[in-house]
Amino acid sequence: MSEKFYVTTPIYYVNDKPHIGHAYTTILADVLSRYHRMNGDATFFLTGTDEHGQKVQKAAVEHGMTEQEQCDTTVVRFQELWEKLGISNDDFIRTTEARHKNVVRKILQDLYDRDLIYKAEYKGCYCVPCERFFTDKDLNEEKTCPECGRPTNEIVESNYFFKMGQYQQWLIDYIKEHPKFILPDYRANETLGFLKKPLADLCISRPKSRLAWGIELPFDKDYVCYVWFDALVNYISGAGYGSNDAEFKKWWPASFHLIGKDILTTHTVYWPTMLKAIGVEMPESIFAHGWWLTGQNKMSKSLGNVVNPMEMAERYGVDAFRFFLLAEMSLGQDASFSEDAFIEKYNSNLANDLGNLLSRIVKMTVKQFGGIIPSPTEENDDDKELKSAAIKAVEVMKSAVPGMKLNSGIEEVMNAVRAGNRYIEKTAPWTLAKSGDTERLGTVMYTAAEALRFVSVLLYPIMPSKMTELRKALGINTPEVNMKELEKWGGLVPGSKMNDSGSLFQRICITEKAPETAPQSQAQTPDSDAGLVSIDDFFKTQLKTAKVVHAEKIDGADKLLKLQIDIGGEKRQIVAGVAQYYTPEEIIGKTIVVVANLKSAKIRGIDSQGMLLAAKKGKGLKLITVDGEIDSGSSVG
Ligand code: ME8
């Protein structure tokens, strides 16, 4: 049954250009929206910019512009980036727009009229360089600024306050009674921890004498509204609150407010109490994700470690960038960004696994069937295994999306892709072609292509352009992509025509971190380099770490051990000639290095799906292992 889905991102400050953190939350919202649209759900995706307050005013002064000019020039940077990154937002709200300011004013007036906003003297210590107020509880005995360490000045200022404190117990109860309200659950605990201290009323004004760039209070022209009180309202003003009741009723409550963990308190304390005061239902879930770090550090301009998403997308392609961000971060936790890790993931998952599978299928179908998708005949166990890997990926993804575990969903899809490559190796279509077994060859090609069709739907929200390309290569030209397509296995239409349009993901040379991807032709070694391999050739071999989970001797083969290994969650069996050097007990538990994309073979009649690496000289042999703890399935290279 289709449902409605309303998702928001934070609205970003226009004091500076966007960086990877902004891109991440927005791509996440985009991917969720695309999944829901693909599911047939009525979907509304709102993003925008936060244009008032001190940060923007300060940036305007630094750039010698008026505040509005600062907003108008910076907002374009966000809008251009979203276009570049294929963001499918349904609306973009700017807090300087009349449609937003009117709603904020209405809310302020209403709360003031109902005595939920009052005027009082505000006593605090003000840090002039940081332009921030601190109360006694924020300060040490010397009353120096907690931000910069400089002395603060005690000042008394009249301001307006929202009676937030009176909702404290209600909020605690609400959070406890609604386990999905704040996600992940440890963030709910963080908010409950914050609510253990008495909740003060919220200062919602700034005197114009100190900060003029904001929405003027409707009941006092000497003050502007505090930027957070203004900004949070975008989630309802952008959905029709106060201007279009039918629209608002259609979308509210929001399904997800996506935020970074930096803005948890404003979203889980200020915002719910504001909504409660104006009598509006709570959003269903506020989801706080972790930080993108550079190494161990948070990205920040002063450290000079900020990643520019526009550059990454231009250099490596939008879809690969989107894929990396979503596959790499476990939602809720921090993740570290590095270009090397990006290239590594791109080469292994996209170029080797996915691109390679497509190219094998298309090339073979073009060669053997003139590109016409053959009809499958009877299914054997190998076919069934691949089919169940694809179906499992659908099931995992279907629960990964609402469960906010996108990286696990993606991993399961990639498992299906790897199963596809293993299937090709095992069924050896080139041998079938040689022996003239066209019927079996047709079934193999169809089955592998059908598995890729499943993959194309599941990864479409993450890589819309590349998956459209992949579908065209498979001969699927329907403009719409829908989850319904995956209700049955066998949707690929025999008789339609595949297109060999070249490689989907060109491998990137890690040594160069080059803007250009290495063209395939470079793989040919010039004569003078006879005996050498290019980096491209080298990376055709996928080396991975694997944990030996079981080992046993093989009857009648005193040089061989049969090993069961785990490569990043995938179980495999390999037969290795190491029995004269290692007992089964010695080898179990070791993390070894294996060639993960070796064609499977039968050794003494036993399946071997890979090869381990060992150093050998004379009579000595030592396994290649790793220097310390690392996950199995890690790439070696
Ligand atoms: O806080 N890693 O705007 P903002 C992951 N205007 N996400 C990051 C990140 C990082 N290193 N850095 C930023 C504001 N983000 C307010 C919001 S909403 C009513 C008002 C993302 O421009 C993350 O979503 O500082 C974070 O919450 C947001 O950008 C902060 O953007």
Predicted local distance difference test score (pLDDT) of residue 11: 98
Predicted local distance difference test score (pLDDT) of residue 132: 74
| CA–CA dist 8, 257 (Å, integer) | 5
Predicted local distance difference test score (pLDDT) of residue 317: 95
Predicted local distance difference test score (pLDDT) of residue 542: 81
CA 19 to chain centre: 15
Whole-number Å distance, alpha carbon 13 to ligand 1 midpoint, is 8
Q: Are 33 and 5 in contact (CB under 8 A)?
A: yes
Predicted local distance difference test score (pLDDT) of residue 598: 80
DSSP string for residues in 572-625: EEEEES-TTT--HHHHTT-EEEEETTPPPEEETTEEE--EE-EEEETTEEEE-B
Residue 337, ligand 1, Cβ within 6 A: no
Predicted local distance difference test score (pLDDT) of residue 204: 96
Count how many Cα atoms sit within 13 Å of the Cα of residue 472 in the half-sphere of its side chain.
12
Tell me the β-bridge partners of 576. Answer: 561
Whole-number Å distance, alpha carbon 281 to ligand 1 midpoint, is 24
Residue 291, ligand 1, Cβ within 6 A: yes
Q: Give the position of tokens 């998952």.
A: 349
Whole-number Å distance, alpha carbon 526 to ligand 1 midpoint, is 50
Residue 263, ligand 1, Cβ within 6 A: yes
Q: Give the position of tokens 């319904």.
A: 484
Q: Are strands 117-127 and 132-134 parallel, antiparallel or unpaired?
A: antiparallel
**3-state class of 121 per DSSP?**
strand
Predicted local distance difference test score (pLDDT) of residue 518: 36
Residue 260, ligand 1, Cβ within 6 A: yes
Residue 232, ligand 1, Cβ within 6 A: yes
Which is the closest atom of ligand 1 to the Cα of 231? 19
Tell me the β-bridge partners of 194. Answer: none
Whole-number Å distance, alpha carbon 21 to ligand 1 midpoint, is 7
Nearest CA to ligand 1 atom 12: 21
Whole-number Å distance, alpha carbon 567 to ligand 1 midpoint, is 36
Which is the closest atom of ligand 1 to the Cα of 12? 22
Sign of CA pseudo-dihedral 470, 476, 481, 482: negative
Predicted local distance difference test score (pLDDT) of residue 111: 98
Q: Are strands 216-217 and 220-225 parallel, antiparallel or unpaired?
A: antiparallel
Predicted local distance difference test score (pLDDT) of residue 609: 85
Predicted local distance difference test score (pLDDT) of residue 164: 98
**What is the maximum span of the chain, computed from C-alpha positions, in angstroms?**
94
Predicted local distance difference test score (pLDDT) of residue 146: 82
Q: Are 24 and 329 in contact (CB under 8 A)?
A: yes
Q: Are 570 and 415 in contact (CB under 8 A)?
A: yes
Q: Give the position of tokens 């499943």.
A: 454
Predicted confidence (pLDDT) per residue in 186-242, tens digit: 999 999 999 999 999 999 999 999 899 999 999 999 999 999 999 999 999 999 999
Which is the closest atom of ligand 1 to the Cα of 263? 27
Spans in the chain with pLDDT lower than 50: 512, 514-531
Predicted local distance difference test score (pLDDT) of residue 510: 59
Q: Which two tokens stand for residue 468?
A: 């459209």
Interhelix angle 185-194/168-177, nearest 10 degrees: 160
Task: List all residues 6 or more positions away from 601 whose beta carbon is below 8 Å from its beta carbon.
Answer: 607, 608
